[in-house]
Structures are given as C-alpha cells and as structure tokens.
Amino acid sequence: MSYHLTLTQDQRAAFDWVGDRYGAGDVARLLLTQCQHTPEEAEWDQPGDMAFTVPEHVAWQIRDLAEAEDFLWPCFAGELTRKLNDFCWNLV
C-alpha cells in the first residue's frame, strides 16, 4: 500500500527554510530518498507541484516524526500544517 502527498513549490521551500530544525528535515529527506515523485524528472526546487507516492512504511515514519512534535509542524504555515496532518491522520 502507498499514500500520496502533493507539495507546491512554496511548500517545498518551507521545508528548505526550516531545514534540519525540527523533524521537517527528516521528512524532506524521506520524501526525496524513499518515495517516487511525479514529474519524475522534477527537482525539489523546481517550479510547480510535485506529487509523491509514499510507501506505507515511510508514511508511518513521517507520522512518527510528526507525533514526536505533537503534530505542530513548527514554523510551517497553517495550510501546510493541515495538509501534513491530514496525510498523517489518514494512514490506516
């Protein structure tokens, strides 16, 4: 089973801005190294949306990272926080 998460260029830039503070850096690394994305040739910092296919075990790792920070996603805007929490809370 896999899950899907689409991030805009601005949302990916938020991950870059937070960097390795908090769990955001680990989440970004998981998305880049453990997930497939479309378009396939797209780079993380390219304009446009990137849709990630997240394997179930990686989705649970992301949820664990979020839970460790009480699902607050420090430094992220409300829209991105809601998107990431919806992703986490919809895991089965």
Nearest to 60 by CA among 79, 34, 22: 34
Evaluate if pTM is beyond 0.85.
yes
- Residue 79 has a CB neighbour count (10 Å cut-off) of 12
Mean pLDDT of 60-79: 97
What type of residue is 13? A
Q: What is the tally of structural domains in the chain?
A: 1
Place 30 in a pLDDT band, splitting at 50, 70 and 90: very high
- As a whole number of Å, the end-to-end CA separation of the chain is 10
Place 64 in a pLDDT band, splitting at 50, 70 and 90: very high
Average pLDDT, the chain: 96
Domain boundaries, position 38: 2-89
Distance separating alpha carbons of residues 53 and 48, to the nearest angstrom: 17
| 36-46 tens-digit pLDDT | 999 999 999 99
> Which strands, in side-by-side order, build the sheet including 36-38?
2-7, 50-55, 36-38
